[in-house]
Amino acid sequence: MKVLFLGAFAASQFDFIAPVIESSVEIGTLANERDTHALAAALRDTDIVVSDLWRAGMPAAPRLKLLQAPVAGTDMIDRAALPSGVTICNAYGHEIPMAEYAVMAMLVWCHRYFDIAVEFRGGSWRDSGVTNGPLHRELGGLTVGIVGLGQIGRETAARAAALGCHVVAANRTPREGVAGVERVFPLAELDRMLPLCDIVVLCVGLAPETRGLIDARRLALMKRDALLINLGRGPVADEDALYAALRDRSIGGAALDVWYRYPTPEEPSIRPSRHPFHELPNVIMTPHCSAWTEGMARRRGADAARNIDRFIRGGPLMHVVATT
């Protein structure tokens, strides 16, 4: 059996996957998938491709049966361009750091941690108990609304509940018996959930029904001091409406990890939005890195390697996304 790690990202994950494969396989790597000559040669006898991408116009891959993505998102895989009979699988493990990130952002927001640390480093005891300074908030007792009760949403719910939050959720399909969640609204009834929440966490991917889901009207339904956390995809929250709501304080603040613009070779330091979110003091912003931990890479690598072993031994595959 021949396995090909294809593309820069798959190549970067080689060390987390290849050493964990138990079956005897021949492993190749092609970091530059645009090297069509090398790619054509490699794909001629490859059985398994490890990659996050597949484009139209790729050379023939007559023996390809498994496309194992080392990531959760398979939006860069053009299914129509694959030969028929290829099973596409993805990998998880990102839900743990993302849930940690969500709760961390909640805590930092409630405790005003960054502001207080900066102020004190400068020498001021303004926020101290010993000077009877202004109080901050606790997370315990607040209501957290999770939009999208998939793996990330469920892991976030469990942690928020352990910190004493009331957790509610909105999900497209009905869910029952989710640990820590007091009530699940159908996504169509999101408008009823939003006014209840002190914190809203977006854990949904981008799809026709989630693009612009949080628009000006829905932002206006949120509490005026509410925190919005976006871990899904930038455009789930309408860019113009979100900026305006934060600037005008119609919501309290936001912690944003996913964006509207991403760097390119021409603009490696591009700002993540056409609006200056970085000038707003009520925004916590990170560069799409909430999941990006060593633990995630290890768990995903183990998932991908186990799937390759299962494929070779003829066992059932995990995390099947589709079969062409």
The two tokens of residue 33 are 């998938």
- Report the nearest approach of other proteins to the CB of residue 205 (Å): 15
- Report the nearest approach of other proteins to the CB of residue 188 (Å): 31
176 exposed, middle or buried (CB, 10 Å; 0-12, 13-18, 19+)? exposed
- Between 84 and 264, CB nearer to other proteins: 264
Residue 103's contacts (CB-CB under 8 Å, 6 or more residues apart) are: 139, 156, 159, 160, 163
Tell me the one-letter amino acid at 181.
V
Residue 153's contacts (CB-CB under 8 Å, 6 or more residues apart) are: 146, 147, 169, 171, 201, 203
- Between 55 and 262, CB nearer to other proteins: 262
- Between 72 and 196, CB nearer to other proteins: 72
What's the rounded Cα separation, in Å, for the pair 129 and 151?
39
- The structure tokens 């993540």 sit at 272
What's the rounded Cα separation, in Å, for the pair 191 and 220?
10
- Report the nearest approach of other proteins to the CB of residue 106 (Å): 9
- Between 122 and 208, CB nearer to other proteins: 122
- Report the nearest approach of other proteins to the CB of residue 7 (Å): 11
The binding site for other proteins (CB under 8 A) comprises: 8-9, 12, 96-97, 100-101, 103-104, 107-108, 110-111, 113-114, 116-117, 119-133, 135-141, 158-159, 161-164, 262-263, 268-272, 278, 284-289, 291-297
- Between 80 and 130, CB nearer to other proteins: 130
